[in-house]
Amino acid sequence: MEEKKVIAGMDPDMLAIHLATAGIDERYARRLLYWVYRRGIRSFSEPDDIPVRVKSALEERFITGVNPPVSSVRSSDGSVKYLFGTAGGLSHETVWLPEGRRMTVCVSVQSGCRMGCRFCATGRDGWRGNLTAGEIVNQVVGITDPFTHIVLMGMGEPGDNIGEVIRACRVFTAEWGLAAGRSKVTVSTVGVTPAVRRLLDETEVNITLSLHSPFADERAEVIPAERRWPFTESLELMQEYDNSRRRRFTVAYVMIKGKNDSGRHLEELRRLLHGTGIRVNLLPYHPLPGDSEKSADEKTMMQFRHQLVTSGVGASVRRSRGADIAAACGMLASGGTTRKRKG
């Protein structure tokens, strides 16, 4: 028997085609997407505005693709880390971060990652597989927490799964999808140049470039992708982009004591970013097991921020969240599969 089609991840046109093929009136496409994306239905028995005979036909040929997390753990600061599993047995983590009225869901785009960034637990574990658009979307729809912002900054590199990431971003921002608002969705990347170009051309979401060092040789030691896709290419694309719609472009800068927190680094950051409109987000470093490096202290980070801001480069310091449950930046590592979780 033919495998059932997963609705999560689809857009109205795609779903209409699949409905028509199944002999179901394609005009149900948008109504179904409303129930899947806005109401998070797991079964077609739930909608009260779809005839029973249509529901039966749907049950035979489709599944909603909305699945709850396998487990969760709550931080003392209120953030929650969720573990999800895919039908293929791949695990991935999602973090919900409440901060006043802002509630952010940080989603994964891959199970593991093959970019091998040195400061990242996900990179150390290696790559196990790509998530589909539906599996990315499910991390927002499959939890019951409310959200105001969605960031694609969990496990995996969006540029290494860009087709599915773009489809998921459309679901997040479209009126027929989650209608999150384009300014509320951010994709974070190490700067896979062709993928950044596609994000700029095919979506309207914000983009964060993980920089780490403004010097290419130093950056390549920590982010090996630099050797293939120099960060300057992504910065150029952002600068050349006609930003009349005021998309937010940011550089994420994880600060490590004695490594990238010197006056020399500050000067080069200023030189690179002055007049570009690209902001800097300074982040504390979370040492991984066996790591001798430490985060820059708060005073150094605040001074960095001050110097950047007074020279005309927008900058902020991000507070650490969820470190006690290994949910802070660079700490996600769910192990191999949901069946073989390291804990």
Q: Phi first, then psi: give them for residue 262, nearest 5 degrees.
A: -90, 170
Shortest distance in whole angstroms from residue 312 CB to ligand SF4: 28
Tell me which of 93, 135, 157, 164 is the catalytic residue: 93
Measured from the CB atom, is 44 or 249 closer to ligand SF4?
Answer: 249
Sites for ligand SF4 among residues 187-216 (CB under 6 A): 190
* CA 268/CA 43 separation, integer angstroms: 54
Residue 331 sits in the site that holds ligand SF4 (CB under 6 A): no
Q: At what angle do helices 193-202 and 162-173 cross, to 10 degrees?
A: 30
Tell me: does residue 328 bind ligand SF4 (CB under 6 A): no
- C-alpha distances (whole Å) from 154 to each of 111, 187, 196, 258, 300 are 10, 10, 17, 27, 26
| Nearest distance, CB of residue 193 and ligand SF4, angstroms | 14
Cα separation of the two ends of the chain: 37
Using CB under 6 A as the binding rule, whether residue 33 contacts ligand SF4 is answered as no
| Region near ligand SF4 per CB under 6 A, out of 153-161, 173-181, 272-280, 307-315 | 153-161
Please say which residue, 74 or 114, places its beta carbon nearer to ligand SF4. 114
Select the residue whose beta carbon is closest to ligand SF4 and give its number. Answer: 123
DSSP 180-240: --GGGEEEEES--HHHHHHHHHH---EEEEE-S-SSHHHHHHH-GGGGTS-HHHHHHHHHH
> Applying CB under 6 A, does 254 fall inside the site for ligand SF4?
no
User: Based on the number of CB atoms within 10 Å of its own CB, is 6 exposed (0-12), middle (13-18) or buried (19 or more)?
Assistant: buried
Q: Which of 106, 117, 120, 329 is catalytic?
A: 329
Residue type, 52: V
Closer Cβ to ligand SF4, 65 or 156, answer by number: 156
Interface pick for ligand SF4 out of 16, 90, 107, 113 (rule CB under 6 A) = 113
Asked if 165 interacts with ligand SF4 (CB under 6 A), we say no
The nearer residue to ligand SF4, 109 or 166, going by C-beta atoms, is 109
- Structure-derived torsion over alpha carbons of residues 167, 108, 95, 62, reported in degrees to the nearest 10: 50
- Whether residue 93 lies in the annotated active site: yes
Using the rule CB under 6 A, is 41 a contact of ligand SF4?
no
3 state DSSP class of 256: strand
Q: How many Å apart are CA 277 and CA 239, to the nearest integer?
A: 8
Q: Considering only the stretches 68-76, 110-118, 135-143, 240-248, report the one whose residues sit in contact with ligand SF4 under the rule CB under 6 A.
A: 110-118
> Among 120, 169, 171, 269, which residue interacts with ligand SF4 (rule: CB under 6 A)?
120
Of the candidate residues 9, 40, 65, 123, the single one contacting ligand SF4 (CB under 6 A): 123
To the query of whether residue 120 is one of the catalytic residues in this protein, the response is no
75 binds ligand SF4 (CB under 6 A): no
Residue 318 DSSP label: P
Q: Is 35 helix (H, G, I), strand (E, B) or coil?
A: helix
User: Measured from the CB of residue 334, what is the shortest distance to ligand SF4 in angstroms?
Assistant: 12
C-alpha closest to that of 333 among 122, 126, 50: 122
For residue 266, state whether it binds ligand SF4 (rule: CB under 6 A).
no
Sequence length of the chain is: 343
Question: Rule CB under 6 A: is residue 156 a binding residue for ligand SF4?
Answer: yes
Residues near ligand SF4 (CB under 6 A) are: 113, 115-117, 120, 122-123, 155-157, 190
Please list the active-site residues. Answer: 93, 329
